[in-house]
Amino acid sequence: MKYVNYNRVPVKHTDPDERVRSLDIRTLVPYTIEEVTAEASRCIGCGLCVEGCPARIDIPGYQIAVANGDLAEALKINFEKLPFVGVCGNVCPHPCEDHCVLDDNNGPIATRHVKKFVAENVEDYGETLKIVRNDLGGHPRVAVIGGGPSGLTAAFYLSINGIQVDVFEATDRPGGMMVHGIPSFRLSRDLVRKEADHIFSYGARIFYNTKVGRDIKFEDLMNEYEAIYIAVGNWSPSRTRTKGEELKGVYHALEFLGRVNAGERIEVGDTVAIIGGGFTAFDAARLSLRLGAKRVVVMYRRAATDRPGYPSSNADEELEEAEEERIEFMWEVTPFEYVGENNHVKAIKYWKNRMVDTGRGRREPEPMKDREFVINVDTIIEATGQRGDLSFLPEDIRNKIDMTPSGDIIVNQYNMTTYPGIFAGGDITNRRKDIISGVADAGRAVMGILFFLKERGKIEKIPAKLINFENGPYPRTSAFR
């Protein structure tokens, strides 16, 4: 009798000394067919992982398909909720794995890595999926503002349901932060282009270098389209306002990552300091090594256990990969001055912090100002967050859209704002601000848009499912379908 081995199949890493020499060497080594089959076979089909996935993908269904050697069905099951299978197979924070019932014993199923295998071993999505487009009895027009993961997901599911979709993208490429923010050593640009091209193969159009509010008025979109989906992301950097931040050699991570991802090679010198402890800070730190830095130090005001994203398996993995590359960490510190010489940064003055329990969640840092410390640096990168820019909205419309105190748009269960016909999703609406959450927002918004269009007589019916295929997939884990 043959028994399943419930030990997790290790996810291997490329040699850190080799990978830091290139912008294109990936960290994770793909599974072999034998490895992915063994790993997917560990799934017991309980479905706890589905509760952890913002998009509610039928994870047990595609694990079973992979275990049976049916990659086409695995791809279809993913596409029921997710058109960026390859992207999420590389960079999803995989909260599903933290819900895996096997996490307490032999390690959670490597869901993201299995997904990565599926995407990388299906060359032609269109030929494999054979999507059957729905005819809803009308072809109204919908505008999508923003060509990132949430905007493109909405464009995909709307277009396969017969809706005419125009995407307005402010930059020269599709993908949003997938191409302008995430470094290429984590996410292949060819992969993003492959999945974006597949999305647009169903009829949606995209207008590049077209910023709403600058190149086209929002009011014009209101007049020309039956509904609007706002998925502009968060592109305005939040700065620390530290004394000396105007010095040369001081960047915000958004600017730094964007310029390097656009092909510029920034001279960072020997020593780089990253201010912040989130995933963007880790990206900036690891990218600095690949630009030639000999020492990279991440400085964060809280403890390691209070950093963004912790506790999670993804946060553990990010830290492990950074430590493999010999990135240093200074926890519980507060920089208070950037010191310059000849108008270029040369050092950081900082205090050490004590962590204070305020009774309101995670502990708060309190600088101990009785003693100052100094670290010499050549470059400083502030990875201290970003916010959305909704200045393109006319004042009369903006005043009718409810927002949080921090400026995020408030939406209902179908991601419609308090202004009828205007929907929103992605980083501008949700707390997680990651790709899979933006995809989930888009799925809800598509259903909301279709309900809205039907109520106004623009379409005749609502589809039973947003996506259908010529052949299957057939139910495998019916409790989650």
* pLDDT of 366 over the 90 cut: yes
pLDDT recorded at residue 235: 95
Summarize pLDDT for 170-211 with one digit per residue, the tens: 999 999 999 999 999 999 999 999 999 999 999 999 999 999
Each residue of 290-329: b (16+ CB within 10 Å) or e?
A: bbebebbbbbbbbbeebbbbbebbbbebbbebbebbebeb
Please give the DSSP secondary-structure letter assigned to residue 243. Answer: B
* pLDDT of 4 over the 80 cut: no
* Structure token digits, residue 124: 């032609």
- Rounded Cα distance, 398 and 391, in Å: 9
pLDDT recorded at residue 5: 72
pLDDT recorded at residue 474: 58
Please give the DSSP secondary-structure letter assigned to residue 403. Answer: B
* pLDDT of 481 over the 50 cut: no
Contacts for 316-324 with beta carbons within 8 Å, 24 or more apart?
318/279, 318/282, 319/282, 321/13, 321/27, 321/282, 321/286, 322/282, 322/285, 322/286, 322/298, 324/13, 324/16
pLDDT recorded at residue 472: 75
2: confidence class by pLDDT, cuts 50, 70, 90: low
480: confidence class by pLDDT, cuts 50, 70, 90: very low
Task: Give the mean model confidence (pLDDT) for residues 214-236.
Answer: 98
Burial of 24 (0-12, 13-18, 19+ CB in 10 A): exposed
* pLDDT of 479 over the 70 cut: no
* Structure token digits, residue 256: 């730094």
C-alpha closest to that of 155 among 425, 473, 481: 425
pLDDT recorded at residue 453: 98
Summarize pLDDT for 171-182 with one digit per residue, the tens: 999 999 999 999
Summarize pLDDT for 265-306 with one digit per residue, the tens: 999 999 999 999 999 999 999 999 999 999 999 999 999 998
Q: Which of 92-106, 407-421, 461-475 comes out lowest in average pLDDT?
A: 461-475
- Rounded Cα distance, 254 and 190, in Å: 21
Cα distances (Å, whole numbers) of residue 89 to 16, 198, 267, 434, 464? 21, 17, 32, 14, 28
- Rounded Cα distance, 27 and 255, in Å: 24
